Amino acid sequence: MTSQIIPVDPFDYVVFGGTGDLAERKLLPALYHRQISGQLSEPTRIIGASRSEMDHDAYRQFARAALEEHLKQDELSEDEVGRFLARLYYVSVDAMSDKGWDDLKALLDDGSDEIRAFYLAVGPSLFGSISERIRNHGLITDKTRIVVEKPIGRDLASAKALNNTIGSVFAEDQIFRIDHYLGKETVQNLMALRFANAMYEPLWNSAHIDHVQITVAESVGLEGRAGYYDKAGALRDMVQNHLVQLLCLVAMEAPASMDAEAVRDEKLKVLRSLKRINDSNADNLTVRGQYKAGASAGGPAKGYLEELEGGVSNTETFVAIKAEIENWRWAGVPFYLRTGKRMSERMSEIVITFKPIPHSIFDDSAGKVIANQLVMRLQPNEGVKQWMMIKDPGPGGMRLRHIPLDMSFADRFEVRNPDAYERLLLDVIRSNQTLFMRRDEVEAAWLWVDPILKAWEENGQKVHPYTAGTWGPSQAIALIERDGRTWHESD
Ligand SMILES: NC(=O)C1=CN([C@@H]2O[C@H](COP(=O)(O)OP(=O)(O)OC[C@H]3O[C@@H](n4cnc5c(N)ncnc54)[C@H](OP(=O)(O)O)[C@@H]3O)[C@@H](O)[C@H]2O)C=CC1
Ligand SMILES: O=C1O[C@H](COP(=O)(O)O)[C@@H](O)[C@H](O)[C@H]1O
């Protein structure tokens, strides 16, 4: 089975931070993939912009190396790579001064009347200055959009300030706030599962669902991002955006359509219904952890403090939270969230555990009746499993077994699973904001996160050590076991 490819209109993508890690690992490979899928129309151009001095050819060499390093050999053909590199341009621009901006304007004006997207793959401290310079140098046309990377601020006040600055230059429908989890195939599939099937909706509430688990586990550590990460920590880096967005997609009401405003309105209602966690309950509802040396998937792993090179730090690399949504659909259904670095394996999933049957007609010899579970595996091994009880085949009498209806996407579909950025980068060109965060969503998420941060600080909440290569501190296990439940084991 293959999917239909519809080319998008030609565009100029200006990537501020075009020489950075994100551009190298994600953006350039994603755009290359869209080219080989036949989705880029002529004369599409990609313009790298950062302070480093280099000409177009040197940037093309940088991009070639990036593709060679981050794509598989069989994805690279000399023809396609050559065609891709010919789209690339580079301008040396300083976000903090006017240096290079006239050159950028000349290059952009040299193109025809294309869609113009500015991708801010730079630190958030540069967002304001770049936005204002884009305006002051006359780079905004009626087909302009701006893409901003997370983190949008480090608390509600700074997020509002950033949103104000960007919003003073661009209208909300021109601003694309990326949360790359929303571009992941299985995350979008969550909406298909919920809203393109009749069977789940009647059960999708507190009468039938016991609890929900959302796990985003990484096996990697800091990956050279200590400067950013140590100031952020797992709550700001992952929970405020990715996990909270996943929770919204699980919990929201059916939107009127897939229209961006309709979907985002529903997510916003969920965010506004999240029960406050503050200094009175943070100790019971949240767990912080930090990894110490151990063994990761790739071999021996340093501890967080060693990765910081001798620093002293209380930054959490793991968080578990028992969240609750105070509305009619979800009252009393806990949403257990956990995320961490240097965990046992890279594994992200959403697990919906249904309530147990009200009464069993089977005697003990049949075995225990286990509650149904719907497991949506976001990565790796993307797919959906609906765990059910069935009779063990054979004449041996009624013996029950818990087995999954298994829909592994790799087995079912022949198409390559595209990286989230492939979808999102082109949604910007299509001007489709459904999978991007609206200003009020970002701020509502901070409104929930801020009191947790404050409580941690004021209560001096302990950061529990956990060994690299494990599932986090034992306190996270206790968080869910106190309620008579257990974390779903990866299968
Ligand atoms: N890397 C990742 O996986 C992810 C990153 N992000 C976010 O994306 C953004 C970029 O991250 P990342 O690529 O890792 O960062 P890097 O530090 O690797 O890259 C930063 C880029 O910004 C450029 N830059 C720095 N200062 C200026 C300036 N004054 N004017 C113009 N360009 C400048 C740098 O080039 P030069 O020095 O030549 O100017 C470089 O190209 C950050 O906001 C990050 O939080 C979000 C999710 C994942
Ligand atoms: O946004 C971020 O996400 C990555 C994890 O993304 P994934 O697509 O590899 O699951 C995380 O490593 C990083 O710290 C964070 O900033």
Label residue 417 by pLDDT band (50, 70, 90): confident
The mean pLDDT of 207-223, rounded to a whole number, is 97
Please, what's the b/e burial string for 231-265 (b: 16 or more CB within 10 A of its CB; e: otherwise)?
A: ebbbbbbbbbbbbbbbbbbbbbeebeeeebeebbb
Could you report the per-residue pLDDT of 131-177, keeping only the tens digit for each? 999 999 999 999 999 999 998 999 999 999 999 999 999 999 999 99
Residue 256's identity, in one-letter code, is A
Give yes or no for a contact between 419 and 247, defined as CB atoms under 8 angstroms apart: no
pLDDT at residue 3 in the model: 59
| Cα 226 to Cα 232: distance, rounded to the nearest angstrom | 10
Q: Where are the domains of the chain?
A: 11-149, 182-246+281-415+461-481
Token pair 């990377």 is found at 149
Indicate whether 203 pLDDT > 70.
yes
Could you report the per-residue pLDDT of 337-385, keeping only the tens digit for each? 999 999 999 999 999 999 999 999 999 999 999 999 999 999 998 999 9
> Rounded to 5 degrees, what angle do the CA atoms 427, 239, 18 make?
45
237 ligand 1 Cβ < 6 A: no
Give yes or no for a contact between 448 and 275, defined as CB atoms under 8 angstroms apart: no
| Cα 76 to Cα 67: distance, rounded to the nearest angstrom | 8
What is the Rg, in whole angstroms, of the alpha carbon atoms belonging to the chain?
24
The mean pLDDT of 474-482, rounded to a whole number, is 98
Angle between helices 439-459 and 260-273 (to 10 degrees): 20
Straight-line distance from the first to the last Cα atom of the chain, in angstroms, rounded to the nearest whole number:
26
Label residue 410 by pLDDT band (50, 70, 90): confident
The mean pLDDT of 397-422, rounded to a whole number, is 89
pLDDT at residue 310 in the model: 73
237 ligand 2 Cβ < 6 A: yes
* Nearest C-alpha neighbor of 232 from the set 148, 319, 294: 319
Torsion of CA 469, 470, 473, 479, to 10 degrees: 140
Atom of ligand 1 nearest to the CA of 93: 31
The mean pLDDT of 96-105, rounded to a whole number, is 96
Label residue 408 by pLDDT band (50, 70, 90): confident
The mean pLDDT of 219-223, rounded to a whole number, is 93
Could you report the per-residue pLDDT of 122-133, keeping only the tens digit for each? 998 999 999 999
Indicate whether 82 pLDDT > 90.
yes
92 ligand 1 Cβ < 6 A: no
Listed in sequence order, the residues at least 6 apart from 358 whose beta carbon sits closer than 8 Å to its beta carbon are: none
450 ligand 2 Cβ < 6 A: no
Identify any residues that bridge with 384 across adjacent strands, giving them in sequence order: 376, 407
Residue 457's identity, in one-letter code, is E
CATH code of 182-246+281-415+461-481, in short, is 3.30.360.10
Atom of ligand 2 nearest to the CA of 346: 10
What average pLDDT does the chain have?
A: 95
Whose alpha carbon is nearest atom 8 of ligand 2?
A: 181
| Cα 5 to Cα 362: distance, rounded to the nearest angstrom | 52
149 ligand 2 Cβ < 6 A: no
How much of the chain, in percent, has pLDDT values that exceed 70?
Answer: 99
Indicate whether 1 pLDDT > 70.
no
| Cα 141 to Cα 246: distance, rounded to the nearest angstrom | 34
Task: Retrieve residue 226's tokens.
Answer: 């200590």
Whose alpha carbon is nearest atom 3 of ligand 2?
A: 238
Model's pTM, two decimal places? 0.95
Which ligand minimizes its atom distance to the CA of 24? 1
Could you report the per-residue pLDDT of 441-467, keeping only the tens digit for each? 999 999 999 999 999 999 999 999 999
Atom of ligand 1 nearest to the CA of 123: 43
| Cα 467 to Cα 295: distance, rounded to the nearest angstrom | 8
How many whole angstroms from 124 Cα to the centroid of ligand 1?
9
Which ligand minimizes its atom distance to the CA of 101? 1
CATH 3.30.365.10 fits 11-149, yes or no: no
> HEC states along the chain?
CCCCCCCCCCEEEEEECCCCHHHHHHHHHHHHHHHHCCCCCCCCEEEEEECCCCCHHHHHHHHHHHHHHHCCHHHCCHHHHHHHHCCEEEEECCCCCCCCHHHHHHHHHHCCCCEEEEEECCCHHHHHHHHHHHHHCCCCCCCEEEEECCCCCCCHHHHHHHHHHHHCCCCHHHEEECCHHHHCHHHHHHHHHHHCCCCCHHHCCCCCEEEEEEEEECCCCCCCCHHHHHHHHHHHHHHHHHHHHHHHHHHCCCCCCCCHHHHHHHHHHHHHHECCCCCCCHHHHEEEEEEECEEECCEEECCHHHHCCCCCCCCCCEEEEEECECCCCCCCCCEEEEEECCECCCEEEEEEEECCCCCCCCCHHHCCCCCCEEEEEEECCCEEEEEEEEECCCCCCCCEEEEEEEEEHHHHCCCCCCCHHHHHHHHHHCCCCCCCECHHHHHHHHHHHHHHHHHHHHHCCCEEEEECCECCCHHHHHHHHCCCCCCCCCC
Indicate whether 224 pLDDT > 70.
yes
Identify any residues that bridge with 50 across adjacent strands, giving them in sequence order: 92
pLDDT at residue 42 in the model: 92
Indicate whether 2 pLDDT > 70.
no
Report the range out of 308-317, 410-419, 462-471 with the highest average pLDDT: 462-471
The mean pLDDT of 115-124, rounded to a whole number, is 95
Q: Do domains 11-149 and 182-246+281-415+461-481 have the same CATH topology?
A: no
